[in-house]
Amino acid sequence: MFGWGPATKIYLCAGATDMRKGFDGLYALVRDQLELEPLSGHVFLFSNVQRNRLKLIFWDGSGLWVCAKRLERGCYRWPAAEAGQTKIVLSHEEMALLLGGIDLAGSRRRSWWRKTIGEENDAAKEAEKSMMDKT
**Assigned domain for 2 exists:** no
Specify if 84 maps to a domain: yes
9-13, 81-85, 100-104, 109-113: least confidently modelled range: 109-113
Structurally, how many domains does the chain consist of? 1
Residue 123 counted as domain residue = yes
pLDDT digits (tens, 9 = 90+) for 105-117: 766 666 777 676 6
CA 72 to mean position of chain CA atoms = 24
Residues 13-41: pLDDT tens digits? 998 999 999 999 999 999 999 999 999 99
Could you give the CA distance from residue 26 to residue 33 in angstroms, rounded to a whole number? 10
- pLDDT reported for residue 120: 55
Q: Which of 52, 110, 47, 105 is nearest to 80 (CA)?
A: 105
Mean pLDDT of the chain: 84
| Predicted confidence band of residue 79 (pLDDT cuts 50, 70, 90) | confident
Nearest-5° Cα angle at 115, 13 to 65: 35
Whether 5 is in a domain gets the answer no
Q: Which domain holds residue 19?
A: 10-134
CA distances (Å), origin 3, targets 62, 96, 119: 15, 12, 23
Other Cβ atoms less than 10 A from the Cβ of 51: the count is 14
pLDDT in tens, 66-75: 999 999 998 8
Is residue 53 in a domain? yes
